[in-house]
Amino acid sequence: MKPRKIVVAYSGGLDTSVMVKWLSEKYDAEIIAVTGDLGQKTELIGLREKALETGASKVRIIDLKEEFIKQYVWSALKAGAIYEGEYPMACSIGRPLLAKMLVDVALEEGADTIAHGATGKGNDQVRFEVAIQTLAPHLNILAPVREWEFKSREEEIDYAIKHNIPVQATKNNPYSIDENIFGISVECGILEDPTETPPDDAWQITVDPRNAPDYPVNLSISFDKGIPVILNSHEMPPVELIKKLNEIGAMHGIGRLDIIENRVVGIKSREIYEAPAAVILHKAHHELEKLILDKDTFRYKQNVSNKIANMIYDGLWFTPLFESLMAFVDSTQKYISGEITLQLYKGNITVLSRQSVFSLYNEELATYAEGDKFDHSAAKGFIHLYGLQFKTLSTVRNTKKAVKNINETVSL
Ligand code: ARG
């Protein structure tokens, strides 16, 4: 099918800028450039002009920050979704929302095709395309970066220069950066060598913990049903809350991650991330759950968290299983209300205090001092029955073994 009207996921970077021109030339199609504002700061400056100069007939920049946090970030936070135990997935969480935005715009504008700038090696192509296919199966999807003739960044830059596409910022930056309000990821350049420590210039927003202030800062975060709502006694709307935590966290060197991760396509990649707010919020939320969830739910939820993290990373947000698992998560969050106080100091987070009216922590049961209400005599019977099956098993097997040993000795 020859595309007639193409909605392009436009970031203003080298790939998507070249893509707008390349698509309009190759297909002689109308190009609508669309950018979702997920809180990526620098990238939005001059974006509209750049897209129009490059050949788009229309540009739409859509503010998705609040929707992103309320519908996507909070879900991941409630789920405790952290990929491979470390990565809070700012990028992975943003993709389904961007895919939804592209579909909405395509339907509104009567476009027949959506094009994105993700590469053939990465996770984002999977996330975009699985989501778009699910939300609007009739739309055609193009991924020019996977198929075009440019063999290197330099060739793309040559093409850009030939077509008057501004590339200066791109040329000077050795890294590939993806940013939104929940975190920033940096890859390429020297980072591709996992034996190399990230150089100072690779970190974009956080202060080196060694240069962070010599005094700590305390943060009290109150949650309502798993969602953070109050910071240091001030009620805060979602966007403001995340911005504030990023600012304070970055200043104290919080949220730097240097990770080897397993990509969907089977490659291992090395990336660094900066996500101060994400790291702070996951820590506080997890701490509150430890206080409030019963043991069985807490343990079971750990498996669900892991599964949800893998599903988000693998691009499976808009699927029935994801919806069902999130229904479980939401049900666990009914009582996750209370306050956690943390201290930030030179890249570290320490829990100072936790409190909730729904806390299951009972000092009379926990204490080793006077006032202990725990029935110690009940423990004896409990352990007798609890371990009975293993006692029985060992008795049988050890007896059999003893008989076998005797027989072997006799036959000798
Ligand atoms: N590896 C991360 C993910 O798949 C981040 C990818 C971001 N892209 C980038 N150009 N740095 O979620």
> Using one digit for the tens of pLDDT, what is the confidence trace for 19-53?
999 999 999 999 999 999 999 986 788 889 999 99
For the record, the structure tokens of 190 come out as: 């020297």
Residue ranges in 220-335 assigned as alpha helix (H): 238-251, 276-292, 295-313, 320-332
123 pocket-lining for ligand 1 (C-beta < 6 Å): yes
* pLDDT value at residue 399: 83
Q: Which of 79-83, 110-114, 186-190 has the lowest mean pLDDT?
A: 186-190
Q: Which domains does the chain possess?
A: 5-173 (3.40.50.620), 179-366 (3.90.1260.10)
Out of 126, 178, 262, mutate this one to test ligand 1's pocket (max ligand atoms within 8 Å of CB): namely 178
Q: What local confidence, expressed as pLDDT, does residue 58 receive?
A: 97
Average pLDDT of the segment spanning 151-180:
85
Mean pLDDT of 264-280: 97
- Ligand 1 centre to CA of 122 (Å) is 8
Q: Could you tell me if the CB of 16 is within 6 A of ligand 1?
A: no
Q: Average pLDDT, whole number, for the chain?
A: 95
Instruction: Tell me the C-alpha distance between 9 and 73, whole Å.
Output: 21
> If DSSP codes are grouped into helix, strand and coil, which group holds residue 103?
helix
Place 173 in a pLDDT band, splitting at 50, 70 and 90: confident
CB 107 within 8 A of CB 99: no
d(CA 185, CA 188): 10
Q: What pLDDT, on the 0 to 100 scale, is given for residue 407?
A: 80
**Percentage of the chain with pLDDT > 90?**
88
Ligand 1 atom with the smallest distance to the CA of 313 is: 12
Taking Cα atoms as reference points, which of 187, 306, 173 lies closest to residue 258? 187
- Extract the tokens encoding 279: 């790291």
Using a 6 Å cutoff on CB, does residue 178 contact ligand 1?
Answer: yes
Cα dihedral 8, 11, 16, 20 in deg (nearest 10): 50
91 within ligand 1 shell (Cβ under 6 A): yes
Q: What is the C-alpha separation between 383 and 203, in angstroms, rounded?
A: 53
pTM, to two decimals: 0.94
Pocket of ligand 1 contains residue 15 by CB under 6 Å: no
Ligand 1 centroid to 185 CA: how many Å?
A: 6
| Model confidence band, residue 170 (pLDDT cutoffs 50, 70, 90) | low
End-to-end alpha-carbon separation of the chain, Å? Answer: 83
Q: Which two tokens stand for residue 19?
A: 């893509």
* Angstrom distance (rounded) from CA 84 to CA 79: 14
From the CB of 271, is ligand 1 less than 6 Å away? yes
Atom of ligand 1 nearest to the CA of 269: 1
CA distance 295 to 301: 10
Q: How many residues does the chain have?
A: 412
Which atom of ligand 1 is the closest one to the Cα of 91? 12
Instruction: Label residue 334 by pLDDT band (50, 70, 90).
Output: very high
DSSP 3-state of 151: coil
Q: Residue 24 carries which side chain, given as an amino acid letter?
A: S
User: Confidence class of residue 412 from pLDDT cuts 50, 70 and 90?
Assistant: low
Q: How far is the CA of 123 from the centre of ligand 1 (A)?
A: 7
* Residue 51 near residue 59, CB atoms below 8 Å: yes
Active-site residue list: 15, 95, 124, 176
